[in-house]
Amino acid sequence: MIKDPGFRLYLITDRKILHRRGQEDALLEALEGGVRAVQLREKDLSIMELLDMAYRLRELTDRYNARLFINDRIDIALAAGADGVHLGNSSIPAKAARKAAGGKMLIGVSTHSIEEAKKAERDGADFITLGPIYETPSKMEYGRPLGTEILNRAKKEISVPIFAIGGINQDRVEEVLDSGAYGIALISAILASEDIKTTTERFMRLLG
């Protein structure tokens, strides 16, 4: 039985796509709309800028009983009191991250194939993102879309929750869930929308 991580919509930050909003204002709208897991992923910031943002987002997510994940930086996750860390291809293995965090954090891992997903599970990931499922500008570096078929296979071979990522809009939520995804990871579908709160509410309804 899959262990529930406590959320089915995983929102990943990208302050560069926001419409006339600051990062915190945009995330506040998303949290008001029902988001309960946010990954801080701003790779171009300095360590001090990222730490400052992590502190501010920790305060914001706490107000809504939402989980905060930090992309790649275990040190910043620990300093900010985040709930978890999210690891990429060039990051340390999940088991090493868990040891560094003293076993106190959830560990998410980005994967782009069945093989990577299996390795992440073996290494101790609590959940994975898998994609890109559909074509999307933010994931062009990972090549052609994987398609929903990979979700069917992944569900049969992997026991941790799978969050589909890449090109997912409201019309595609039912398809990825029916194909085996536990939840969805979103960036622009929420953050680039004109009405973030309403858009988030619609996604939450689709996720049940």
Specify whether 56 is catalytic: no
Q: Which of 47, 39, 95, 92 is nearest to 66 (CA)?
A: 39
At a CB cut-off of 8 Å and minimum separation 6, what does 196 contact? 21, 26, 29, 30, 33, 190
Query: Would you say 133 and 148 are in contact if contact means Cβ atoms under 8 Å apart?
Result: yes
Question: What six digits make up the tokens of 61?
Answer: 């997510």
Query: Would you say 39 and 108 are in contact if contact means Cβ atoms under 8 Å apart?
Result: yes
- Cα–Cα distance measured from residue 33 to residue 10, given in angstroms and rounded to the nearest whole number: 13
- Cα–Cα distance measured from residue 159 to residue 198, given in angstroms and rounded to the nearest whole number: 32
Specify whether 119 is catalytic: no
Catalytic residue among 8, 36, 41, 172: 41
Question: What six digits make up the tokens of 146?
Answer: 């994987």
Specify whether 41 is catalytic: yes
The DSSP call for residue 22 is -
Catalytic residue among 67, 139, 172, 197: 139
Query: Would you say 187 and 206 are in contact if contact means Cβ atoms under 8 Å apart?
Result: no
Catalytic residue among 8, 110, 172, 179: 110
Catalytic residues: 41, 110, 139
